[in-house]
Amino acid sequence: MKSKTFRLRAVILAIILLVGALGVGFLLVDKANCVAQPGYVYVPTGASYQTLLDSLGNDGKYLRSMSKFRTTAKLLGLDQGVRPGRYRIPERMSYTQVVRMFQRGLQTPMRVTFNNIRTLPQLAGRIARQLEPDSLAMLTALTADTTAARYGFTPQTFLSMFIPNTYEFYWNTTPAGFIARMQKEYDKFWNEERTQQLAALGLTRAEAVTLASIVYEETKMSDEMPVVAGVYLNRLRLGMPLQADPTVKFALGDFSLKRILHRHLEIDSPYNTYRNPGLPPGPICMPSIRAVDAVLHPMKHNYLYFCAKPDFSGYHNFAATLAAHNRNAQAYAAALNKRGIR
């Protein structure tokens, strides 16, 4: 009886060793290129193994043989669960390497870019086109009652935490993860040199970004930004209202206005810098890094006024006196009238 039991155990052990050897052997010889077409595969959060198989499609879409992939996946346990993400399948990968990539969540980061943003809803939409969370989920996180305060901002100044640039993110980054990452980039942006410039100007970070947003809306000419920044800083020092047309557009919610008229200046809004002294409550857009640095390194001059040039070049005429400014303004108004811009 004992000999039969011993023989049975020996047979079972032999079978186990044989299966293991075959599996190891399979993994060792699985060195051939299994990729038919390189590309990216997206695995949504909460997706099943079957969803991954559906994304990979039939033979030839990405892999040469889906049958071999399924065999390898089952052997290595991928069929028990997959990790979400954006995966790049390059050339010359084996089936084992592809399975391990999905199994270990070895995603390929993607480059996320945002700039020329005016509002948080616009930011949410831009990010949603590049990462997995949709615009509603992103906007909900950005505008939640406690979000801005958690990072030391008000709802009006929160946009200033987002520095426009190109960053690497994993595709399935959550809205909370995106915001937390942006806070780190914000702190990195405000390095020692920029912080020293803030102190020299007597501005806070939020104030500098708010002023930069006005400069950015006034001119897209990088070489002119320090001059415009100098005008507004001169006005702030003298206690003069900024009288910035872009803040009126923001208050009206109409960024398409090509001409600000006297009736527009009557709007009752804290963002109307014709009626309210000092800076508005927060940025009127997401300024470029160049605009922020222009505020931190303004040109020193005695200009208090500026007006768009009548040649519509995008540049401005600057003036130190109201009389000179009025002449510049009359020339520009005449150019607008000639073009029928009312």
Q: Residue 306's pLDDT is what?
A: 93
Q: Which of 184-188, 240-244, 310-314 has the lowest mean pLDDT?
A: 310-314
* Encoded tokens for 248: 């009126």
For 102-232, where are the E strands, in sequence order? 110-114, 165-169
Q: Residue 31's pLDDT is what?
A: 59
When pLDDT is cut at 50, 70 and 90, the band that residue 255 belongs to is: confident
When pLDDT is cut at 50, 70 and 90, the band that residue 242 belongs to is: very high
* Encoded tokens for 249: 């557009």
Average of per-residue pLDDT values in the chain: 90
**φ/ψ of residue 167, rounded to 5:** -130, 160
pTM of the predicted structure, to 2 decimals: 0.86
Q: Which of 28-37, 92-101, 213-222, 296-305 has the lowest mean pLDDT?
A: 28-37
What is residue 132's three-state secondary structure? Answer: coil
Q: Residue 21's pLDDT is what?
A: 42
Give the span between the Cα atoms of 77 and 292, in whole angstroms.
52
